[in-house]
Amino acid sequence: MNTLLAFAFLFALGSISGWIIEVFFRHWFSSSNPQHKWVNPGFCIGPYLPIYGFGLCALFILSYISEQYNMFSNWKSVILWFGLMTLVMTLIEYIAGLISLKVMHVKLWDYSDMWGNIQGIICPLFSLFWAILGAIYLFFIHPYITKALFWLKGNLAFSFFIGLFFGVFLIDVIYSSHLISIVKKFADENQVVVRLEKLKSDVIRFKEIRQEKAKFFFPLSSAHKSLSEYLNEVKDNVSELIHKN
C-alpha cells in the first residue's frame, strides 16, 4: 500500500478520535469552561483536531520502530521508548501551540495556571497524560491500527473517503483561517492574546443568556460581532476573555 495513503488514513483517524476525546475532556475537566458547556475544541470548525492526527502518525512510527528493533527486551529500552514518545508528543504540542500564539495571537489551550508550564503551551502534567495515552496506544490500540492498515490495503476503494475527508478538511482550514484572522486583528488592535477555548464557551453562554441559538460547530461564525458584543458585556472584567502575555 502507498505510504502516503497509510499516513493520510492515520492522520484522519487520529484527528477525528482526538476531537472526540477533547470534546468530553473540555466539557468535564477544562478550567476554561467552568459552566461545562459543550464546546467545539480547536482551530477548525469540523470534528477533527490535526494535532492528534500528527500525534497518531508519530505514535505509529515509534511503535513500528520498537517492533522492528525489539526495544522491549529490557527495562532500560522500555524507559527510553516511553521517554522518546513523551518527548515527541510534547514537541508536537509545543510547535502547534507556539505557531498559534506567535502567528495568530491565539491560545488554542492554556496551561498558564499549571506547575512547570512553558509559555502556557506545555506542562509536566499534560506531558504525563501524553505518556499515558501513548502507553494505551502501544499496548491496546496499535495492533488494531496495524490490522486496519492491512484491511485498507485490500480495500483501496475506501481511499475515496480519505480523499473526501481531506477535501472537506482543506475547505475548513481556509474558512477557519478567515475567522481566526478576524480574531487576530482584534488581538493586535488590543495588544492581547485571545484564549480561544474561553472565548467560545463564553460566547455560547452569553448567547444563551440572550436566548439566542448557540452554535456548536460555528460559534465564531460572526467572529467580529461576537468579540465586540462580549467585550461590551464584560467590560468591567475583560480578563475573563483575554489573557495578556
Confirm if 216 and 37 have CB atoms less than 8 A apart.
no
d(CA 23, CA 238): 25
172 class by beta-carbon count within 10 Å (0-12 exposed, 13-18 middle, 19+ buried): middle
Strands 242-243 and 193-195: antiparallel
User: Please, are residues 198 and 240 in contact by the beta-carbon 8 Å criterion?
Assistant: yes
pLDDT the model gives residue 3: 87
pLDDT value, residue 244: 45
CA distance 162 to 20: 18
Grid cell, residue 238, equals: 475583560
Phi, psi at 183, each rounded to 5°: -65, -40
Q: What is the pLDDT of residue 13?
A: 96
Alpha-carbon dihedral sign for residues 29, 34, 35, 38: negative
Instruction: Provide the whole-model pTM.
Output: 0.85
Q: What is the pLDDT along the chain (245 residues), one digit of tens a residue?
A: 588 999 999 999 999 999 999 999 888 887 666 677 778 888 888 999 999 999 999 999 998 888 887 776 677 777 888 888 999 999 999 999 999 888 888 888 889 888 999 999 999 999 999 999 988 998 899 999 999 999 998 888 899 999 999 999 999 999 888 888 877 887 787 777 778 877 777 676 666 666 666 666 655 655 555 566 555 554 444 444 444 44
Per DSSP (E only), the strands in the chain are 106-107, 193-195, 242-243
- What whole-number distance in Å separates Cα of residue 82 and Cα of residue 221? 41
Specify the 3-state DSSP secondary structure of 65. helix
Query: Residue 141 CB: number of other CB atoms within 10 A?
Result: 17
